[in-house]
Structures are given as structure tokens and as C-alpha cells.
Structure 1
Amino acid sequence: MKPVRIRTLQSTDAEALLIFELDNREWFERHIDARGSEFYSVQGVTDHIAAYLSGFAAGTWHPFVIEDPAGNIVGRANLKGIDRSERSAEVGYRIAQGACGQGLATFAVRHLIQQAQLHWNLKQLVADVYAGNIGSAKVLERCGFLIEQTQQEGTVQDYRFSLTI
């Protein structure tokens, strides 16, 4: 894996984040829920970042970006739905199509686990994965997550993974 940096999302990331999201929109929409069209503008991403940073300030989110050595965003990772009384959160991540296969998703999930423990004192993490997203399932298993349950909606089966830390 090439050297990368993971850091907390900042309000100044709007233009770089928009480029990342636009460049990878079709790729992401094959694996996760699509974002609304209003998201894909500087104002849409600025509003998105403001909401995430508000959640961070409130202690319910911890949003990160992953940058390559040139400072380009190549991934995102989030602790979301942080519940300090239950000491739990959900993990989510997305890696640029061109950066897949380099260990970035595993790096991101391990970083989320570390932050969940050290920064938030959490004990339980969960992640939802579409059945067709085999790569994400493998990443979670590699990081110690276990399949907790399956969810059937129509003909699509999704998976929930959990990790006790």
C-alpha cells in the first residue's frame, strides 16, 4: 500500500470531496445507496460536510477522509450513529475505484476501530453490507467482524456485521 493519510473531515474539503464523489459516483452506486442529485454540487457537498461536522461536534459522527501522497481524497470512512450510552456505532467507508485492491478499506476500518476505542470508548461496532458487495464483507471479516444477521428485502439479501471491541 502506498503511503496514505487519514484525517478528520474539514470544512475546507468541499471541492476535493466533490471531485472524489463525482469521479466515483457510478462505482459507489453499484455498492451502496445512491445520493440525491442535489448532493453533487459545491453547495451540496458543503452542506453535507457541515452536517457531518455538526454531528462530530455533537458526538454522534466521526467523519474521516483518506488522502494519497499528493493530497487527493481516495476514500472516506465514518463512525456514525455513535451512541455513547450504548457504547456503539456503525462503520461506513467508500474507496475510490482506482484505489481498490491496495488495502485502503482494511486500513480505514482498522482506523475506525482504533478511533472507536481510543477517542469514543466504544465497545460495539456494526456495519451493513449489500449481499453483492463481497469486497466489503471480506474487509470486515479481515478486521474481525462477524456476520450477525441477514436482512431480506424482496429478492435482495443484505448482511449486518458486528464487532465487539
Structure 2
Amino acid sequence: MNTLSVRKLEKTDTEALLTFEIRNREWFESQIDARAPSFYSLQGVTDHIECYLSGFATGTWHPFVIEDAIEGIVGRANLKDINSPKGCAEVGYRVDQRFCGQGLATLALKHLIQEAQTHWNLTQLVAHVYKNNIGSRKVLERCGFLIEHESWIDNTKDECRLILSI
């Protein structure tokens, strides 16, 4: 694996992000909710980035990309629904299928935890994961997230909620 870095999403990431999302669309849709078809265009990704950066400016989002020195964007990670007064946010991440099993999701999640503490002074992070997404659940648990018992035993739900107190 080449040198990896995690950095804030930028307006200049449109083409690279579109490439990443298209390349992994089928894989992501098998693991998480599908995006609208209109997302998969330069305008769709431009609008998406502008929305996320606007959320960063207002303190409700902190979007990141994971870059490989040669491959470009190979992952994404976000703090979302940041609620500074309550000290909480939700985490989300996605990793290029070709890079799964190489520690990128763990790297991304540890970065989110660090940013939640140092940049936002948060005390709790929440994650939602589909029950069949075992890899993501293992990453969350490896980073200290605990399954919220009530959400796991509800057999009518397809996802469970995990929480990390920081």
C-alpha cells in the first residue's frame, strides 16, 4: 500500500470523488443505502460537496477523504449531524472495495474520533450499521463502539446503533 492521508473534503475533489463513487457504486449499495441516480454526475457531486462544505461552515458536518498517493481518493469519512451543545455526532465512512481489509476504515474512524475530540470537543459518537455489514461492525467495535442493546434485539430493524463515549 502507498502513503495514505486523511484530509478535509475540498471543492477541487469533484472529479476524483465522482470516479471513486462510480467505481464503488455497486459495492456501496450492497452495504449501505443507495444514493439518488442524479448524484452520479459532475453536477451531482459538485452539489454534494457544496452541501457538505456548507455544513462544515455551520458546524453540522466535517467531511474527509482518504487519499492514496497513487490511487487518489480511496475512502471517505464524515462527522455528521454534529450537535456541539449536546456533545454528539454521527460517524459514517466508506472505503474503496479494492482497499477493504487493509485498515482504511479503522484509520478513518480513528481520525473521526480524534477530530470529534480535538476540533469539536464532542463526548459521544453514534454509528448506524446494517446487521449484515459485519466488516463495518467489527471496525466500530475495534475502535471502542458498543452495540446499543435495544437496537440489536429488535428483529424488525435491518440496522443496529453503536455508541462510543469519548
How would you bin the TM-score normalised by the shorter chain? over 0.9
Conserved 8 A contact 1:75-1:94: yes
SS across alignment from 1:7? strand
Give, in whole Å, the separation in 2 of the partners of 1:91 and 1:133. Answer: 15
Name segments (4+ residues, structure 1) moved above 3 Å.
Answer: 151-154
The separation in 2 between residues aligned to 1:116 and 1:67, in whole angstroms, is 20
Q: How does 1:116-127 map to 2 (within 5 A)?
A: 116-127=116-127
Q: What aligned pairs does 1:99-138 form with structure 2 within 5 A after superposition?
A: 99-138=99-138
For residue 157 of structure 1, report the CA deviation from its aligned partner. 3.0
Match of 1:23 in 2: 23
Q: Percent identity?
A: 64
Partner of 2:139: helix, strand, or coil?
Answer: helix
One-letter amino acid matched to 1:57: A
- Structure 1 portions without partners, runs of 5+: none
CA contact (8 A) 1:150 1:157 kept: no
1:161 and 2:156 are equivalent in the alignment: no
Number of aligned residues? 164
Q: 2:80 & 2:8 partners in 1: Cα distance?
A: 13
Q: CA deviation at 1:55?
A: 0.1
Deviation, structure 1 residue 150: 1.6
1:59 corresponds to which letter in structure 2? G
- Of 64-73 and 22-31, the range deviating more from structure 2: 64-73
Residues 6-37 of structure 1: per-residue CA shift (max 9 Å, x gap): 00000000000000000000000000000000
Q: Are the equivalent residues in 1 in contact too, given 2:80–2:92 (CA < 8 A)? A: yes
Instruction: Tell me how far apart the structure 2 counterparts of residues 71 and 24 of structure 1 sit (CA, whole Å).
Output: 14
TM-score (structure 1 length as normaliser): 0.96
Question: For the residues of structure 2 that align with 1:91 and 1:114, how far apart are their CA atoms?
Answer: 12
> What corresponds to 1:150 in structure 2?
151
Is contact 2:2-2:70 (8 Å) kept?
A: no
Which letter does structure 1 place at the counterpart of 2:8? T
For residues 147 and 66 of structure 1, the distance between their equivalents in structure 2, rounded to whole angstroms, comes to: 26
Q: Deviations over 1:100-158 (max 9, x none)?
A: 0100000000000000000000000000000110000000000000001426474x531
Contact 2:82 2:89 in 1 (8 A): yes
Structure 2 match to 1:4: 4
Give the C-alpha shift of residue 2 in structure 1. Answer: 4.1
Q: CA deviation at 1:70?
A: 1.8
